[in-house]
Structure 1
Amino acid sequence: METRAAVSTMVMYEDESLEVHYVDGAQLQLSPCGCEFLLLKAAESRTHSRQAMGRVRQRTRFTISEYKELLVAALAFRNKYASQPYLPEELISAESKKPFFRIDSNVYWPDWSLSEAELGPGGEIIVRSKGGEATLMLASSGEDFSVEFMCNLSQNQSYRDTYGSSGGLKGDQTEHTPNGGKELTQSMSCSSTNICTQPKMYQSTTVVQHHSCYTVPSMWVYPLSLARYYWTAHVSDAEDGAETTSKAHKPDISSEARRSLLPQALPLTCPSPHLHRWKFKDPLATDEDSDLPTDLLKVMWCQGIIYRILNGTDPVIEVSPGDESVIRSNAVLNGYFTHYKYDLRRKKRKEVTYHVSSLPPDVLGQVYLVSSTVTRASSLLDTSKPCNC
């Protein structure tokens, strides 16, 4: 099949399985662990109408070259929104790999007095860990952020059992240095015959993830608080553009609170492949297909727009249209959405409230249509609410 097939939608479910739909009718699904995939080819690529039954099921890391590009793109999306990335060496380009002897998964962030947050050209705030292993960027809207960090590639379970998730020998009591353990441990292991061997070299790569400020994973709470402090000072919606440093309180944070344990890659193989569930519908079925997922949704990409369900007592949907703004539903007031935008010229955030029953008219030439975007978000939120019956 054509490896550069255009994507129509990508859906990640609550169990972190991924479903990709292509314009030509092909479908790809990744298991929650990322280790295995199932591909349903487009109709024109089947030699027989019943060959919809001719599905391709393979281990992700061992996929043939015909499907490699599809898997690389699918994994990039999966890893951006999953709690743990899946990083098989076979699907990562040589230029993206970096050798290491040991990378500690602990990183340390600057304290409040020493932090040197950067103000980006679009109003975003950038905070870097002390050793440079991780970077957090708060969007100019102040409502979402992205992180970039070094991560060891996925390993066999035997390696993880021996070295642990941090890449160091289990039981190693070496004290962590303030730079987040960036220095490489290059100790030599010697046999009784005094023949020394260098420890095995492994690989790491850079992982990029995207998060909402509405629900923040624990490892990013402190660096996000740093970024929000500087955002309040430089990019807040203060009246007349006045700086509001005095409004932000600098708490007394211990060195331990400034430590984050970075996400680690999933193992290469899944211990329970027999539990993988595939959600494909029968392609020969005659009933009308809905364009909305029926299982509990986590993230959906459609026409360049990201829709994310933020679960809680009252589920919320958050929309990232791609222009650095954020549209979020109100958890209590059904049907209301708030659009958070940033005015670069005035260095001020604007908030616009919509209701699904009275949305603004679409304007020709807009990058995205607010009316159709909010309508789809409302529908996705309704389908993602658990049934109380």
Structure 2
Amino acid sequence: MAAEVRMVLYEDDSVHVRYADGSKLQLSPCGSEFLFEKAPPLSTHPLEQPERIRQRTHFVISTYREQVQRALDFRNSSAMCPFLSESIIPSERKKHILIDFSEIKWPSLDSDDSATYSESGTVKITSLDGHAYLCLPRSQHEFTRLSDEEEYSYPELVKVVWYKGVTYRLTHKNVNSIEIYPGDGSVFKSEGAYYGNYFTYYSSQEESEKSERKTYSVNNLPPDRPGNLFSVCSLIKQATRILQHCAKTRLSLSHNYRICCWKMVPGVNVSNILPKLLKESLIPNVGRFLAYSDDKVHAVFLDGITLTLNWDFSSSAEKRRVDQGLSLGWCRLTFPDGQEQLIQAKHPGAYERYVTSVISWCRRLSQTSPKQVATLLPPVLQENWSIASELEKIQKFNWLLENSGILNPTSSKKNEQCSEDKSESSETLIEAINEESVSVALKRTSEILQDIEYLLSNSRK
């Protein structure tokens, strides 16, 4: 049986595991289903699809039981809701507690009888009822709950990564931050203006009871030294790759990466969860800018390059610094050929004009109070349209347009002859209006009709 090389827990609580022989295992967000992808033989054609086995976790066969058990242990250590199945939990790990408790009472800070200390410095704190406990390492930066070199391609924020015995734990609030646990009780924490530019190292020395603290720059990492338990350069580079994946995910326009099956409330309309368009501007000779309710800004430039960034519109401009609205220090550039590049907003290099244009537009938009941002769309887009009445208007306008000679001057004479049998009131009305003014008015009407048809087609969807 191949050993695990890398295990990743994503924000939706799904798990991806890669093994030494190239096989893969995926756990669904709720943990109730898994997909095992076998490693293809060396003689397999590159275009041939690998063999995949999909089963319910509760009914896993003995061939994959151990892999699924270890994947579930990794998931349950940090997932919001653990998946516990009696059929796959070993008998020695089962405890029969004939009570149902939803709250746990912990001892007070000045109580010492419920805390035990091991020789390695690990602290174990037991609840007052004895049914739960917390395990803290010597550094006290990480805890485990008991009642975790390739691209991260899954379009979801990463929560925990286990790789070569090292655990990477991430938090996602206003920014992405990461902590690295090499396994010896020490910890690296990401620091900097947008988190990830610097890493601070905290180490507890068991002999002297003193804590060592160092700060490393991502752009100037130290070389590996013989005798070290781990490579500082490798750890921080791996953490930087994870942070960049999370930045790309947050800059994605899919808008649905947080919608998970088991987290969905019954009866809730998914369309109400997805963000709404707050502001759309067409800037001459520059491009088209759009701002969404999830603080995502998307810009399409005339040369085909698109730029996406996050901007916080929630707080008023008077109470924050000029650049504080830039909630994520990264921007995503997409080129006309489909290639993507992640750049730092403060160091855009050759793409400075793109970043400057979008940030300037966001600053002007931020001058408006948060309550007014939601009403920035043109009034015509916020009205409740009556499809029947608008279709009737379109039919009338189309009839006037077709009989005015604007679309086809040659056939206008034939239309005038055919219109002789129309009602006398209509002929009098058309002849009384100046031909030039009618032409100008109908041209404008034609443009309005195109907008109306566009809005009606969207409303039907």
TM-score (norm 1): 0.59
Change in 2 beyond 3 A, CA 1:97/1:73: same
Structure number with bigger Rg: 2
Counterpart residue number, 1:24: 21
In the alignment, does 2:210 pair up with 1:348?
yes
Cα distance in structure 2, aligned partners of 1:313 and 1:47:
46
Q: Could you tell me which of 134, 148, 168 is aligned with 1:307?
A: 168
Q: Could you tell me which of 159, 165, 184 is aligned with 1:323?
A: 184
Counterpart residue number, 1:104: 101
Cα distance in structure 1, aligned partners of 2:66 and 2:124:
31
Alignment of 1:125-204 (within 5 A): 125-149=123-147
Cα distance in structure 2, aligned partners of 1:51 and 1:69:
28
Deviations 1:304-334 (A, max 9, x none): 1111221121210111111111111015254
How far is the alpha carbon of 1:53 from its aligned partner?
A: 5.1
In the alignment, does 2:5 pair up with 1:8?
yes
Cα distance in structure 1, aligned partners of 2:144 and 2:226:
31
Deviations 1:246-298 (A, max 9, x none): xxxxxxxxxxxxxxxxxxxxxxxxxxxxxxxxxxxxxxxxxxx9433453211
Change in 2 beyond 3 A, CA 1:78/1:365: same
How far is the alpha carbon of 1:71 from its aligned partner?
A: 0.7
Alignment of 1:276-287 (within 5 A): none
Cα distance in structure 1, aligned partners of 2:97 and 2:131:
13
Change in 2 beyond 3 A, CA 1:343/1:353: same
Equivalent residue of 1:106, what SS? Answer: coil
Counterpart residue number, 2:223: 361
How far is the alpha carbon of 1:49 from its aligned partner?
A: 7.0
Change in 2 beyond 3 A, CA 1:374/1:49: closer
Cα distance in structure 2, aligned partners of 1:27 and 1:360:
34
Q: Percent identity?
A: 38
8 Å Cα contact 2:39/2:50 also seen in 1: no
Counterpart residue number, 2:347: none
Letter of the 1:43 partner, please give it: P
CA RMSD of the aligned region, Å?
2.3
Q: Could you tell me which of 79, 82, 96 is aligned with 2:79?
A: 82
Cα distance in structure 2, aligned partners of 1:84 and 1:46:
42
Equivalent residue of 1:118, what SS? Answer: strand
Change in 2 beyond 3 A, CA 1:101/1:290: closer
In the alignment, does 2:242 pair up with 1:380?
yes
Deviations 1:159-188 (A, max 9, x none): xxxxxxxxxxxxxxxxxxxxxxxxxxxxxx
Change in 2 beyond 3 A, CA 1:30/1:45: farther
Structure 1 window deviating more from structure 2 (54-63 vs 110-119): it is 110-119
TM-score (norm 2): 0.50
Equivalent residue of 2:49, what SS? Answer: helix
Counterpart residue number, 2:30: 33
How far is the alpha carbon of 1:148 from its aligned partner?
A: 2.6
Counterpart residue number, 1:124: 122
Instruction: List runs of 5+ in structure 1 lacking aligned partners.
Output: 150-209, 211-288
Cα distance in structure 1, aligned partners of 2:173 and 2:182:
23
Counterpart residue number, 1:54: 51
8 Å Cα contact 1:316/1:331 also seen in 2: no
Letter of the 1:374 partner, please give it: I
Equivalent residue of 1:42, what SS? Answer: coil
Letter of the 1:315 partner, please give it: N
8 Å Cα contact 1:36/1:59 also seen in 2: yes
Change in 2 beyond 3 A, CA 1:113/1:369: closer
Change in 2 beyond 3 A, CA 1:72/1:45: farther
Change in 2 beyond 3 A, CA 1:57/1:46: farther
8 Å Cα contact 2:77/2:144 also seen in 1: no
How far is the alpha carbon of 1:45 from its aligned partner?
A: 9.3
How far is the alpha carbon of 1:75 from its aligned partner?
A: 0.8
Counterpart residue number, 2:197: 335
Change in 2 beyond 3 A, CA 1:340/1:293: farther
Cα distance in structure 2, aligned partners of 1:374 and 1:92:
36
Cα distance in structure 2, aligned partners of 1:21 and 1:346:
40
In the alignment, does 2:70 pair up with 1:65?
no
8 Å Cα contact 1:143/1:340 also seen in 2: no
Change in 2 beyond 3 A, CA 1:130/1:311: same
Deviations 1:201-237 (A, max 9, x none): xxxxxxxxx7xxxxxxxxxxxxxxxxxxxxxxxxxxx
How far is the alpha carbon of 1:113 from its aligned partner?
A: 4.0
Equivalent residue of 2:188, what SS? Answer: strand
Cα distance in structure 1, aligned partners of 2:39 and 2:110:
58
8 Å Cα contact 2:40/2:50 also seen in 1: no
Equivalent residue of 2:96, what SS? Answer: strand
Cα distance in structure 1, aligned partners of 2:57 and 2:89:
12
Cα distance in structure 1, aligned partners of 2:239 and 2:110:
41
Cα distance in structure 2, aligned partners of 1:142 and 1:91:
32
How far is the alpha carbon of 1:46 from its aligned partner?
A: 9.6
Change in 2 beyond 3 A, CA 1:77/1:94: same
Change in 2 beyond 3 A, CA 1:50/1:357: closer
Cα distance in structure 2, aligned partners of 1:20 and 1:112:
39
Instruction: List runs of 5+ in structure 2 lacking aligned partners.
Output: 252-295, 297-307, 309-461
Counterpart residue number, 1:276: none
Letter of the 1:357 partner, please give it: N
Q: Could you say which structure has the higher helix fraction? A: 2
Alignment of 1:204-283 (within 5 A): none
Letter of the 2:245 partner, please give it: T
Cα distance in structure 2, aligned partners of 1:303 and 1:121:
25
